[in-house]
Chain A
Amino acid sequence: MCGICGCSQTGHSGKLTPLQGKLQPVLTIGHAPDNARLVQVEQDLLSKNNAYAAQNRHFFQAEGIFAINLVSSPGAGKTTLLVETIKRLQGRFPMAVIEGDQQTQHDADRIRATGTPALQINTGRTCHLDAQGIGLAVMQLAVQPDSLLVIENVGNLVCPASFDLGEAHKVVVLSVTEGDDKPLKYPDMFHAADVMVLNKTDLLPYVDFDVAQCLAYARQVNPNLQVIQLSATTGENVTQWLDWLVGQVAQASQVTPTRGIASL
């Protein structure tokens, strides 16, 4: 007897099978073997990643660590902005960087050249960082309390949007050479981010990029998105970015009621 509906057939199938002699498919109602039963699962596909992310977030909050997840398409200027940021903020509070790239140590080397500890994660064929890897990296780096932790994700505007790493904010970097319609073409990322850095503003005179249109698109996807326009190479308006970071780091280090209790 079928374990699902109690009919006399066995052998479960829900396949589309072609109707005899005709081309259109019909759905054959599936029947399950005797002992079959329904198991309710209701579990998110990312539940494992989300559990690790929650653990990371708890650790960051307990230690007063302000963590951001820096995302963009390849080459938008994440590492350049990060190096400039570190140079300007060095000595104010401890900093640490986790670099995600499919291959090479290049970006971690660029960070280490500033004297700031950095750990490179090579994701190989995978196109994003996950929360479990971040937890391990945080332990290896021995990230200090009341510090700024920047996680530079793999250059990819698509799937890092779905993977929570435990960060306080996702910050999406978009450069003006990429086209002003990127927020509509890759809405998931602009929806997941809280802050957008519009980088390479020094190149605006040379490219056809409508800033107002870009910001309108971005807010259409995410009405609450905060935007900072700057040039990482000329330093134009970088202070607005630094002020935001300094304020967030100060706030994170104040809210540490459970310091010492949490551990990874």
Chain B
Amino acid sequence: MHELSLLENVREILEQHAVSQQFSNVCQVTLAVGQLSCVEPDALRFGFDVVMQGSLAEGAELIITELPGVGHCNQCQQQTDLPTLYAPCQHCASPLVTVLSGTEMKIKDLIVN
């Protein structure tokens, strides 16, 4: 359900850009999805064709770039890889890590004509 409503947002954003940037057909959509975001890339791929049916992106190619999770350790003050929201600091194993990036989910770019 969640992924479907996100894909409906994708379609709406495409339709808005079609007006402002003057295109009528989208042949490729690139999404950037953070490792710590609440969406599952496979679920997006699964729903993409269905949601784009009848839109200007019908039959378009979907590319998903996954962005890594990165955090800041409150203990040792270093930057650390964050594969999950609860992963400890890779340097000092402290569980107190603040998320810096990796929660984003956005449309990066399109190939249109």
Contact = CB atoms under 8 A, between A and B. Distances in A.
Interface of A: 3-4, 12-15, 30, 32-49, 125-128, 158-159, 161-162, 183-184, 187-188, 191, 216-217, 219-221, 223
A43 B111 CA distance: 15
Residue with the greatest number of chain A CB neighbours at <10 A, chosen from B23, B27, B61 = B27
A39 B16 CA distance: 13
B66 interface: no
B38 A41 contact: no
Contacts, number: 117
B99 interface: yes
8 contacts: A38-B112, A43-B13, A44-B106, A45-B10, A49-B9, A125-B1, A221-B85, A223-B95
Contact of A223 (B12, B37, B63, B98): B98
6 tightest Cβ-Cβ pairs between the two chains A and B: A187-B85, A220-B95, A159-B2, A223-B96, A41-B107, A36-B113
Interface in B2-31: 2, 5-6, 9-10, 12-13, 17, 21, 23, 27-28, 31
Contact of A45 (B6, B17, B97, B98): B6
A98 B46 CA distance: 33
B86 A30 contact: no
Chain B contact surface mostly? mixed
B105 interface: yes
Interface string B84-113: 111010000001111100001111111111
A160 to B, nearest CB: 10
A14 B13 contact: no
A38 B111 contact: yes
Contacts of B97: 223
B74 interface: yes
A186 to B, nearest CB: 10
Contacts of A217: 86
Contacts of B9: 45-49
A156 to B, nearest CB: 9
B2 A41 contact: no
A185 B20 CA distance: 42
A12 B111 contact: yes
